[in-house]
């Protein structure tokens, strides 16, 4: 569903150049795509949480977590590697088409093989977990993983080129297809299997849309993976480092669910993943910022890297995500009751424990891709492996002792290593000072403390409609007041923001 005022320019098709949009324009289209995806994803998650119960939802999310282990070798860092080279050749249609076709050649060879392997291994994996109900959900996930692996390449290519609007249709098709397919199949009684195949329906729909869009933007050569003599070796070489880094992070992201499923039960996985799913929605804005800013740290065609935007974006994410700390800690119980229902009471403690993760991962959403674009994949390796090791050891020791909340705590500790290390890597590469960012963090934490006091005054369990609105307004006011008093935010910045909004939306 391409916005009516923003058709893809046909004039680009007639030349060997592709136009890039500005950071603001890309961020706007990323926000639109993300908003659509978030709306569909929230609706689907809340539907599945209630339609499947903790056991069924746990089986579904465990299948996703297991499938994620196959998603790592399916990509092998190819998408991010291709994106780096696309960013370096931003605007050069022929060069970009060769890069995409080379990456697609690698993708298809690996993804289809591993998708088939997961489908065939579904039975033994289910036996390993002693959960027969896992077999068909895993097979459903396998189909979606293959399609998603290819659409990820397309999506990251658009981001690197600075034409995020090209992916609007693909995002809509994928999100709408997943929601419609899942609701129909689950409502017909297919349970966790229906949820898995419904998710895959969305990915396949997105793939068809992506093929059409990638052809319109970069030409048919971008899909000519058979005859391409492009950049296969170059893409594969840099992808080797990224495969380990991204594989470690993806395993890190799903490790908690895998170990909770092994030590405890499917219902426990459902309770943990329900809380984790709420934090995923919170990180959509950070993804929007990252897609607009991260590719610009790499200069192209005589244009210098935009380091000022990168530094400002890091500060923006620190201050923005600091505002979420107080609600997550103080109002975890009413948030869970409102969004997930009474069956998920135990998810409140998990959500509360995820508060540090929300802040750290919000900032990390920009730092990780920025490090890739800067060619720092090799330096990311020891950091990613260390984070996985920290989380793994903590989970193995404490999940059997204190239950599902240990998964959240282990994630917090690991990210407390991962994100600052990535900040240091990026700061060294582009020479930005760290002291102002550290000061921004301290001020944001002080403001979060003031906000927490206001929210606590309205209660921590049962909230009325008036409590929700009044607490949110007064708590936000307290947060902003501390930021202004400590001079993290200034009146001039507020006026500039107001003027910018009035110019574009007034």
Residue written as token pair 């034409």: 163
φ/ψ (deg, to 5) at 376: -105, 25
User: pLDDT over 70 for what percent of the chain?
Assistant: 88
CA 58/CA 257 separation, integer angstroms: 9
Does residue 493 belong to any structural domain of this protein? no
For residue 329, being part of any structural domain is answered with yes
Say how many CA atoms lie within 13 Å of 460 toward its Cβ: 11
The owner of tokens 């396949």 is 204
Q: Tokens 């991260």, residue?
A: 294
Would you mind telling me the total number of residues written for the chain in this entry?
506
User: Is residue 59 within 8 Å of 134, Cβ to Cβ?
Assistant: yes
Residue 249 reports pLDDT greater than 80: no
**For residue 474, is it within any domain?**
no
In a domain, 284, yes or no: yes
Q: What pLDDT was estimated at residue 503? A: 54
Task: Convert the pLDDT of each residue in 423-479 to its tens digit.
Answer: 999 999 888 899 999 999 999 999 999 999 999 999 998 899 999 999 999 999 999
Tell me whether residue 17 is in a domain.
Answer: yes
397-414 confidence digits (pLDDT tens): 999 999 999 999 999 999
For 302, phi then psi, to 5°, come to: 85, 0
Task: Provide the strand spans (E) within 11-143.
Answer: none
| Residues 257, 449: Cα–Cα separation, whole Å | 31
478 falls within a domain: no
| Cα torsion 98, 101, 107, 110: sign | negative
Q: Which domain holds residue 248?
A: 10-432
501 located within any domain: no
Query: Does the residue 73 lie in any domain?
Result: yes
How many domains are there within the chain?
Answer: 1
Which pLDDT does position 7 carry in this prediction? Answer: 44
Q: What is the pLDDT of residue 294?
A: 84
Cα separation, 75 vs 78, in Å, equals 6
What is the pTM assigned to this prediction?
Answer: 0.68
Distances (CA, A) of 59 to 18, 138, 180, 263: 45, 10, 20, 14
The tally of CA atoms less than 13 A away on the side-chain side of residue 4 is: 0
Average pLDDT over the chain reads 85
For residue range 166-218, list pLDDT tens digits in order: 777 888 889 999 999 999 999 998 899 999 999 999 999 999 998 888 888 88
């Amino acid at each position: 569903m391409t916005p009516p005022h923003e058709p893809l320019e046909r004039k680009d098709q007639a030349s060997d150049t592709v136009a890039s949009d500005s950071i603001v324009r890309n961020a706007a289209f990323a926000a639109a795509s993300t908003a659509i995806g978030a709306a569909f994803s929230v609706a689907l998650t809340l539907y599945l949480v209630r339609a499947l119960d903790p056991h069924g939802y746990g089986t579904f999310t465990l299948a996703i977590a297991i499938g994620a282990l196959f998603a790592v070798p399916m990509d092998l860092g190819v998408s991010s590697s291709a994106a780096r080279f696309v960013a370096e050749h931003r605007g050069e249609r022929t060069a970009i088409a060769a890069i995409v076709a080379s990456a697609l050649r690698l993708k298809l060879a690996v993804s289809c093989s591993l998708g088939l392997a997961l489908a065939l291994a579904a039975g033994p994996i289910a036996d390993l977990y002693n959960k027969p109900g896992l077999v068909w959900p895993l097979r459903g996930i396998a189909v979606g993983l293959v399609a998603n692996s290819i659409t990820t390449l397309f999506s990251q290519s658009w981001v690197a080129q600075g034409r995020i609007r090209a992916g609007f249709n693909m995002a809509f098709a994928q999100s709408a297809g997943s929601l419609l397919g899942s609701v129909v199949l689950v409502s017909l009684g297919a349970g966790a299997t229906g949820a898995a195949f419904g998710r895959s329906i969305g990915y396949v729909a997105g793939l068809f849309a992506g093929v059409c869009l990638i052809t319109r933007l970069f030409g048919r050569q971008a899909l000519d993976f058979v005859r391409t003599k492009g950049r296969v070796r170059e893409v594969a070489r840099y992808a080797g480092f990224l495969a380990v880094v991204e594989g470690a992070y993806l395993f890190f992201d799903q490790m908690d669910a895998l170990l909770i499923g092994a030590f405890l039960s499917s219902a426990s996985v459902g309770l943990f993943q329900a809380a984790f799913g709420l934090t995923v929605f919170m990180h959509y804005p950070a993804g929007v910022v990252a897609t607009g800013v991260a590719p610009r740290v790499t200069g192209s065609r005589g244009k210098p890297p935009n380091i000022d935007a990168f530094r400002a974006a890091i500060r923006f994410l620190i201050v923005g995500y600091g505002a979420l700390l107080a609600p997550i800690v103080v109002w975890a119980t009413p948030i869970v009751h409102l969004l997930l229902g009474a069956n998920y009471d135990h998810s409140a403690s998990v959500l509360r424990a995820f508060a540090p993760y929300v802040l750290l991962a919000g900032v990390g959403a920009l730092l990780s891709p920025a490090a890739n674009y800067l060619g720092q994949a090799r330096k990311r390796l020891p950091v990613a492996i260390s984070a996985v090791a920290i989380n793994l050891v903590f989970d193995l020791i404490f999940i059997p002792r204190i239950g599902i909340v240990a998964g959240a705590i282990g994630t917090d500790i690991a990210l407390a290593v991962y994100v600052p290390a990535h900040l240091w890597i990026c700061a060294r590469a582009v020479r930005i000072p760290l002291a102002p960012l550290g000061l921004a963090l301290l001020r944001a934490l002080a403001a979060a403390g003031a906000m927490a006091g206001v929210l606590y005054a309205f209660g921590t369990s049962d909230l009325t409609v008036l409590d929700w609105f009044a607490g949110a307004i007064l708590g936000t006011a307290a947060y902003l007041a501390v930021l202004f008093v400590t001079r993290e935010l200034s009146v001039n910045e507020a006026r500039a923001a107001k003027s910018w909004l009035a110019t574009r939306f007034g």
